[in-house]
Structures are given as structure tokens and as C-alpha cells.
Amino acid sequence: MSKKMVVLGEIREGSLRNVSFEAIAAAKSAAQGGEVVGVLVGQSVNALGSDLIQYGADRVVTVEHANLAQYTSDGYAQALLAVIQDVNPDGIIFGHTALGKDLAPRLAAKLNSGLVSDVTRIEGAAGNLIFTRPIYSGKAFEKKIITDGLSFVTIRPNNIVPLVKDESRTGDISSLKMEIKDLRSIIKEVVSKASMGVDLSEAKVIVAGGRGVKSKEGFAPLQELAKILGGAVGASRGACDADYCDYSLQIGQTGKVVTPDLYIACGISGAIQHLAGMSNSKVIVAINKDSEANIFNVADYGIVGDLFEVVPMLTEEFRKLLNKS
């Protein structure tokens, strides 16, 4: 049975996040031959509509308003509720990001609908959609079915492969005019720490450091390796607690959950809280002086040695391999 699915395109610094394109691929699977409608919410977002279409959306609806220039749950909820009333979809898919985790449950509760979060796979069977999601810190998986009403879904980044971009693909981009008012909170200014490199939650390669890096300066070789590989730098809670790096880099049960193609753990012992955030990475390489470290139990490849000797050697070899100066 074909369905009509809506995808919220998530925008960061004027560009669509990659998870938006993964959500379109998930929606195409969930629609089972039906229509996929992309949605863009913001102040000047109409120009990004063609990107959603080129990645598989059949059409795009935009909601533009000055009060949507910055994300607020009130403003975005008003916009999405208007889109839902206008499009009348069978389901809505968000990225399992800070925005998606805030907005999806709010809308689902307001509409008394089902919500399945942190989905890694979507299958169709006899008209019902089967959603697979990890539980118990990734030790097991459960399958869920929403049997009635509107379905709200958040998908984990880097688990569903986006469709190949087709620049020849075209579709209708329409604008939904409405007032965004009665906001309980208004953002006057956003002050953020300067960020460099790849977004950690969407990185294909992550080089992470633990207490074994010993200091803030100890992250320098990890940053160099990540730069060569086009990846991001992450950290264990232990490294963050020791003030070696900012908590925005924390990976684990109380930090970010990541699933990169390659995860290089440097000086990380492998506490269960950290494993909960990275154990579903496709390939895990562990570097640790302690051959009994728990991280080796989940690693595909292990190197017993001093990270300050091993990481520069890896960096040099990758530099030669990739012909980077």
C-alpha cells in the first residue's frame, strides 16, 4: 500500500544537513511507491528546495517567516502543524538530531500519534511499516509497527544511505503562507563556539581520544590524522571530564551517538558508557597501550602501543597514500 511521507529538511548555516537526504531515502522506502514531500522551514529557505528534489523528494513545501529565522520548538511546531493539515501525510520523518529529538515528540504528543525514535532501518510488510531501532545501548535491536494514525519517525544519521543526487530531477516547490505568532521564546542572538572541520554526528571518519591523550595538547596528533582523513575529532567522557577538550566532542551514552564508516579510538579504555555511543560504527580501530583494555573487545582491528607513536605513523602513511601534503 503506497503512502504519502513528509521529510523535514534540516538546515545548518545555510545548507541542508546530510541527514536530510538520508531521511528522504528512508521516506522513499516507507512510501512504498507513494509521494515524498520535502518541507523546509526558516526565513529564506526556498532556494534549497531543489536540493531535496534532486535527492528524491517529489515536491517541496516551504514555510518562510521572520520568526523562523532561528529554531524554536513553538515556531517550528506551528509551521509543521500547518504543513500536516495541508499535505495530510501518513508519516513524517526527521533526523535523530537535537532538533528532531525536540520537535518530533512534541508534535506526536499534540496529535496523539505514534513515535519511533532512533530508527536505523525501515521495511514494509503487508501495508504496515516495520521500524528497527537499537536498545540497551546497542546490545539488541527491536522492531516496531505503528498500526494506526500518523507516524512520526526519527532516523539515526549515517545508517540509511541517501539516494544518488540527480541534478536533472525537477519538482514543484510551493510556499505555505502563515503567521508564526504567540511564541513563548524568541532567540535574540546565537553565540556559539567556533567549530572547525566536519560535523561530528555526520562524520564518515572519527578519530576519538580518551584519558590516554594526557592533555589538551595530546589531541593535536588526533586532529592531524582526522584532517588527513577528512574526518572529525571526538572524545570519551573521561577526556572531557579531565578538561582535555570541550564536552561538545563527547561520544557516549550521555554524549553523541555516532555511526561512522571508520572509528579510530586512541587511548580509550572502552567503558560501557562510551561503547554505547560508538559500538555500531562500521569499522573500529583501537589504539591502546593496555592489551586488556575493553575497547579491543569491540574493535575490528587493534594496535597495542603508544598512541603518540602510532598515530603520527598512521598519519604519515595516510598522507602518502592519499598524496596529501
Show me where the domains of the chain are located: 5-175, 200-322
Q: Binding site membership: which residues?
A: 211, 236-237, 250-254, 267-274, 288
Phi, psi of 270 (to 5 degrees): 105, 40
Q: Which residue has the higher pLDDT, 190 or 212?
A: 212
Residue 195: band (very low, low, confident or very high) from pLDDT cuts 50, 70, 90:
low
Q: Residue 96 has what pLDDT? A: 95
Q: What is the pLDDT of residues 64-107, one digit of tens each?
A: 999 999 999 999 999 999 999 999 999 999 999 999 999 999 99
At residue 245, does pLDDT exceed 60?
A: yes
**CB-based contacts of 13, cutoff 8 Å, min separation 6:** none
Q: Which residue has the higher pLDDT, 136 or 222?
A: 222
* Distance from C-alpha of 215 to C-alpha of 223, rounded to nearest angstrom: 13
Q: What percent of the chain has pLDDT over 90?
A: 79
Residue 198: band (very low, low, confident or very high) from pLDDT cuts 50, 70, 90:
confident
* Domain with residues 200-322, CATH architecture: 3-Layer(aba) Sandwich (3.40)
Q: What is the pLDDT of residues 115-140, one digit of tens each?
A: 999 999 998 765 678 999 998 877 88
At residue 18, does pLDDT exceed 70?
A: yes
Strands 59-64 and 172-175: parallel
Q: How far is CA 58 from the centre of its chain?
A: 23
Name the superfamily (CATH) of residues 5-175: HUPs (3.40.50.620)
Phi, psi of 86 (to 5 degrees): -75, -45
| Cα Dmax for the chain | 62
Same topology between domain 5-175 and domain 200-322: yes
Q: Residue 229 has what pLDDT? A: 95
* Distance from C-alpha of 127 to C-alpha of 147, rounded to nearest angstrom: 9
Q: What percent of the chain has pLDDT over 70?
A: 97
Q: Residue 127 has what pLDDT? A: 63
List, in sequence order, the alpha helices (H) in the chain.
18-31, 49-54, 73-87, 98-110, 220-229, 237-241, 272-278, 307-322
Task: Identify the sign of the CA torsion 314, 315, 317, 318.
Answer: positive
Q: How far is CA 228 from the centre of its chain?
A: 22
* Distance from C-alpha of 219 to C-alpha of 226, rounded to nearest angstrom: 10
Nearest to 37 by CA among 2, 95, 80, 87: 87
Among 131-145, 167-181, 203-217, 293-307, name the one with the lowest average pLDDT.
131-145
**Average pLDDT over every residue of 270-287:** 94
Q: Residue 193 has what pLDDT? A: 66
**Average pLDDT over every residue of 289-304:** 96
Q: What is the pTM of this model?
A: 0.86
**Average pLDDT over every residue of 45-73:** 95
Among 135-144, 199-208, 245-254, name the one with the lowest average pLDDT.
135-144
Which segments within the chain are labelled E, that is strand? 5-8, 11-12, 15-16, 36-42, 59-64, 91-95, 114-119, 121-125, 128-135, 140-145, 151-155, 172-175, 205-209, 232-235, 262-266, 283-288, 301-304
Q: Binding site membership for FAD: which residues?
A: 211, 236-237, 250-254, 267-274, 288
Among 54-63, 141-150, 171-180, name the one with the lowest average pLDDT.
141-150
Phi, psi of 271 (to 5 degrees): -60, 150
Task: Identify the sign of the CA torsion 75, 87, 23, 133.
Answer: positive
Cα end-to-end distance, the chain, whole Å: 54
Q: How many CB atoms lie within 10 A of CB 320?
A: 9
